[in-house]
Structure 1
Amino acid sequence: MATTSSSTSGSTTPLLADVDDGVLESALPKPSPSADASTPLARRRPTPLPKAQLFVLCVIMLAEPVSYTQIFPYINDMCYRLGYAKSEKDVGFISGLIDSLFAISNLLTVMHWGRLSDKIGRRPVMVMGLVGLFACNIVYGFSKSLWLTVVARLTMGALCGNGVVTQSIVSELTDETNEAQAFAFISLMWAVGCIVGPTIGGTFSRPAEQLPQWFDTPFWRANPYLMPCLISAGLMLLSLLFCVCFLKETLPAKARAAQSPREREESNERLRAGERAYGAMDEQVPAEAAGILPKEEDRLWTTWEILHAPGMVKAMVCTFLMMFENQAWDIVFILYAYTKLSLGGLSLSNIQIGYSLSFAGSVGAIIQVFIFPRIQRRFGMSMYPVVLAVLLLMFPAAPALRALVRGAVGDMERGEAGALALVGACGLAFMGRIAAMIFPLTFILCKRITPTPSALASTAAIAQTVTAGARAVAPWLVSSLFALSANSSFLGGNLIWALMTLIVAGSVWYARDLGSALEEAEKDKAERLGS
């Protein structure tokens, strides 16, 4: 049973400091019906979650999505009013470029942060990322020139390695019976960030105009986009406080070294009793001594070796496609909602865009916490292409909604399109939250596709590099395609929607046998690890 839990938890194996040789064999957890690997996952009793640490991690995780999404309601308005774009038709080119810069710099640095967290620990890397987000939010808020905005966004992406660190921490805290619930909470924080971030950006951008009773002063008129950045920076400080004061180190060697003698003895007592509190953090028996992990596997795998592991290429291609398509939707939806009806959009105001995103995020939070873990335990990875296919409904629905609104109210000015436009936008944003169930599924996929426990963080870093690549390509590409569609009569101005629908259809077809590839990879891993 210890062999099974070590291989399926997907975590690196801790070093042993104070376990007596005589308890090694008795320390291994005893087989039980609730944890037998042959028992279907849906029928196993879930391992209790480390709720306190997950709560701390959730608070910390709120920082990144808020920092990333708070610019969405006003980025197009910012590019136009500050003169980054010559005309409203050109806004998509500039805003897409600015958004891509975050992912481009993240693409070039995320492998470094993943490797560094394997060497110095998870907490120090998390602290560096939060400090970087705090500083860059303030610089972004004060920027009034394109070059300074670009520098702030580039630096923000380069200093932020929190995604790969968080994924590693959750993997080290869970096993396959509770991973869906734990990863759902992490995805929940992204959904909450999608509520908080756009609400902040939509409500507090241009405060001298939107909240004149409090902020109609020369300072706020001169810095129209500073307020949401300051609020976002305040949340970064809160996350930093929780990280420094409450987050425990989970890198196995570091975590073991930080234990007090009493904590080590309590861990050893649990081992003697065959107990397992949660995830990998209670696996104190050294892999080689306990016969869990062959010596040749207990090492840091190279990137080349990981990429050539069974099923890895399939998993990484699916990861790229899902991120590209979901990121494309997030970006093009905001641009579509902002653009005038006469140019192919819905003519919504900044605050209306923020409210629609916040509504969708609220409903998405319920989906992530209460619905996703249940259906994932029942259907497993077979639901991956099904969730991906939700986008097949969303991309064609956008031009249909615009045609419906325009037919009902005509070419209204921004913010005056009426309830139909706002309700329709909320509906499309809600569908985006359903499609977002693909993210915790991808976390689970990357954890299970890991060829050996010692390659956990490196595999997560590869996945983060792949997703960063998708995030680098998608914003500029779809924003440019949207701008081209607005300036062209080809396909009635619906080029962007037609192309994205075809891309999604192709990715759903490609992911149809992902479950088989994962089974092959897990079988190969079990054979190598001696399971």
Structure 2
Amino acid sequence: MANRGDVEEEERLLEGKSTDEKNSGVTTRVLEDKVTWRNLPHKKQLLLLALCRLSTPLSNACLLPYLYYLVKSILDDPDHPSAPQKISRMTGLLVAAYPIGQMMTSMLWGRLSDTYGRKPAILLGLTISVTANLAFGFSRSIGMLLFWRVLAGMANGILGVMRTMTAEIVKDRTYQTRAFLALPLIFNSGRVAALAIGGCLADPVDNLPWLFGPTGLFNFARNPDGVAWTIKYPYALPALFNGTVLALCLIFATLWLKESLPTKEQDWDLGLAIRQSISGFIKRKILRKADSGYTAVQIEEAEVIMADVPIAEATSTGSLTPTHSTTKPYRPPFREIWTRPLLKALLAFALLPLHNATFLHVFPVFLSMPTAPNIHPTVFRFTGGLGLASPTVGLYLATFGICGILLQLFIYPRIQKRVGTLGVFRLANAIFPLAYIFAPYLSLLAGNATAKWPAMAGVLFSQVIARTMAIPSSVILLTEAAPRRSVLGTVHGAGNTLSALASATGPVIGGMLLARGIDGGAVGVVWWCWLLLVALAALGWSLMLDKSEDGDEEKEMAPLEKGV
């Protein structure tokens, strides 16, 4: 009877456990259904982190609308017949210099952030980025432009650190899809602003004559040609704007951003101490508020405090047991990090920028290139660009950047909920080839004002919607492939290194193939022999990824959380 009683007791316990598991599953699904931007935790910290993310679009995208004209202004003989080919090659090198710098430092930033903290790495990177952006605008030789582009890229190797910090700030996987959209959302917003501002502020004497021209408001010296320093440095104004915005982001991050590395979270922070001192001074001396004797804890600060307290669960005896320990997370040896799922996710992560970065370089140059008559074109042999001015290029690209923002806000979460992260990634990779097949045929419509604009819109919208879905999905897939949370900095550093290598290689090859295509009378060479082939390879590899590597599939996270 005793044995029978033990069996019955065990059955009751198992039944109760099964019921709890079912209830837990139902609760998880209910929570996932109710995830919105409004109830996303730690929104202030994510916003600060996203503002720091502006360093990449401001450093990298702002020059795209005027890059062709910048290089042309430096050439000895810009009107020579071979100038378009030479310009396309030099623009490829300038675009590639930035990711080369990223590639050189991404792993270093990741390892340093794992050791010394995420915030110090981000602040140092932003400081270097401010300097590099300001200096770039006042450089008038290809050598100096390349140097400052490389330095800006080295500073922005912190991208992997920012992605790691996002995963550490929002630990609940229910909210991670929205959280990982925050950085790309600000990135796209910054890219929209950078493209529009870069195109409009470049060469301000011609593009903004009412401000910098002979009768402009800022021409205090009444120079007959316009504001003197803008004539000497016609492309310095966008760089000044970039440096100012990034300096403000640096100040905000110093005063408000909190450390997320578990081993450094409780360390004293000089920036937060300065912010508290300034806040206290303003309240006492300016607002004349008396000290109440205690400090009000904001909601998000309370969440951070409670996150450090072990969560207790009731046992069968009614006692409370903490669900996790506060021991130092285990960091495996470097060689044990690179598991098979992680290596597969890293390759998928690298193939995306290999063609996407090339498109972001080639397409603005293609729009800026002079038109060609194409008297007897064939299906594959035709040449020329669309001959658009830099403000037109910048504003046009910015307009479709806004579409990317709207897609990220309203469309991507719904598609991701239906087909999963891996499904969205595959769908995006299936759209890229379509854009690359039809893009070069725009040159045949250069003289048709009625048809060229909707055709350009179709190509650009296809590419924008694809990259809007692909970029956050690739980040989530890489994060979920990490063997432990304690090595996320290293994993994202490796991902950023490969991404930077791809972003450097793609534009260089793209610039050379574009020049070769112009020489041979076939501008489509770069589109069909490089962009299309790489996009098809990325599509094929996305189909090789396993469902188990999808961030939406259930996966044992205990080793990640406990480090055991």
- TM score, norm. by length of structure 2: 0.77
Alpha-carbon shift at residue 49 of structure 1 (Å)? 2.1
Change (3 A) 1:448 1:520: closer
| Residue 240 (structure 2) pairs with residue 240 (structure 1) | no
Counterpart for residue 487 of structure 2: 455
Amino acid at match of 1:471: S
Amino acid at match of 1:189: I
Counterpart for residue 56 of structure 2: 64
C-alpha distance in 2 between matches for 1:523 and 1:305: 23
C-alpha distance in 2 between matches for 1:60 and 1:31: 42
C-alpha distance in 2 between matches for 1:258 and 1:100: 39
Equivalent residue in structure 1 for 2:459, among 405, 409, 428? 428
Amino acid at match of 2:385: G
Counterpart for residue 238 of structure 2: 228
C-alpha distance in 1 between matches for 2:27 and 2:257: 35
SS of residue in 2 equivalent to 1:161: helix
Corresponding residue pairs, total:
477
| Residue 398 (structure 2) pairs with residue 358 (structure 1) | yes
C-alpha distance in 2 between matches for 1:305 and 1:147: 41
Judge conservation of contact 1:41–1:177 (CA < 8 Å) in 2. Answer: no
Judge conservation of contact 1:359–1:426 (CA < 8 Å) in 2. Answer: no
Percent identity between the two aligned chains: 24
| Residue 75 (structure 2) pairs with residue 112 (structure 1) | no
Amino acid at match of 1:360: F
| Residue 133 (structure 2) pairs with residue 137 (structure 1) | yes
Judge conservation of contact 1:72–1:201 (CA < 8 Å) in 2. Answer: yes
Amino acid at match of 1:386: L
Deviations 1:185-213 (A, max 9, x none): 21111111221111111001111111123
Change (3 A) 1:445 1:494: same
Alpha-carbon shift at residue 97 of structure 1 (Å)? 0.5
RMSD: 3.3
Q: Which runs of 5+ in 2 are unaligned?
A: 1-18, 213-225, 274-293, 312-320, 373-382
Change (3 A) 1:192 1:465: same
1:90-239 to 2 correspondences below 5 Å: 90-174=86-170, 175-215=172-212, 216-239=226-249
C-alpha distance in 2 between matches for 1:183 and 1:315: 16
Amino acid at match of 2:491: T
Change (3 A) 1:303 1:432: farther
| Residue 72 (structure 2) pairs with residue 80 (structure 1) | yes
| Residue 397 (structure 2) pairs with residue 372 (structure 1) | no
Judge conservation of contact 2:440–2:523 (CA < 8 Å) in 1. Answer: no
| Residue 519 (structure 2) pairs with residue 487 (structure 1) | yes
Deviations 1:23-48 (A, max 9, x none): xxxxxxx9787864995598555474
Counterpart for residue 395 of structure 1: 436
Judge conservation of contact 1:202–1:354 (CA < 8 Å) in 2. Answer: yes
Judge conservation of contact 1:116–1:125 (CA < 8 Å) in 2. Answer: yes
Alpha-carbon shift at residue 112 of structure 1 (Å)? 0.8
Change (3 A) 1:219 1:509: same
C-alpha distance in 1 between matches for 2:99 and 2:127: 18
Counterpart for residue 348 of structure 1: 388
More displaced, 176-185 or 143-152?
A: 176-185
Judge conservation of contact 1:75–1:95 (CA < 8 Å) in 2. Answer: yes
Counterpart for residue 474 of structure 2: 442
Counterpart for residue 8 of structure 1: none
C-alpha distance in 2 between matches for 1:227 and 1:511: 42
C-alpha distance in 2 between matches for 1:517 and 1:334: 39
Alpha-carbon shift at residue 96 of structure 1 (Å)? 0.5
1:296-375 to 2 correspondences below 5 Å: 298-307=329-338, 309-342=339-372, 343-375=383-415
Counterpart for residue 4 of structure 2: none
C-alpha distance in 1 between matches for 2:256 and 2:22: 35
Change (3 A) 1:37 1:166: farther
Change (3 A) 1:247 1:391: same
Q: Which runs of 5+ in 1 are unaligned?
A: 1-29, 271-276, 410-417
Alpha-carbon shift at residue 53 of structure 1 (Å)? 1.6
C-alpha distance in 2 between matches for 1:72 and 1:31: 56
Judge conservation of contact 2:477–2:550 (CA < 8 Å) in 1. Answer: no
C-alpha distance in 2 between matches for 1:480 and 1:181: 39
Instruction: Identify which of structures 1 and 2 has the higher relative contact order when contacts are C-alpha pairs closer than 8 Å and 6+ apart.
Output: 1
Change (3 A) 1:457 1:391: same
Alpha-carbon shift at residue 103 of structure 1 (Å)? 0.8
Amino acid at match of 1:225: Y
Alpha-carbon shift at residue 422 of structure 1 (Å)? 4.0
Amino acid at match of 1:305: E
Deviations 1:425-449 (A, max 9, x none): 3443322221122111111111100
Counterpart for residue 385 of structure 1: 426
Deviations 1:8-67 (A, max 9, x none): xxxxxxxxxxxxxxxxxxxxxx97878649955985554742122222222222232122
SS of residue in 2 equivalent to 1:508: helix
C-alpha distance in 1 between matches for 2:348 and 2:101: 22
Judge conservation of contact 1:140–1:149 (CA < 8 Å) in 2. Answer: yes
SS of residue in 1 equivalent to 2:545: helix
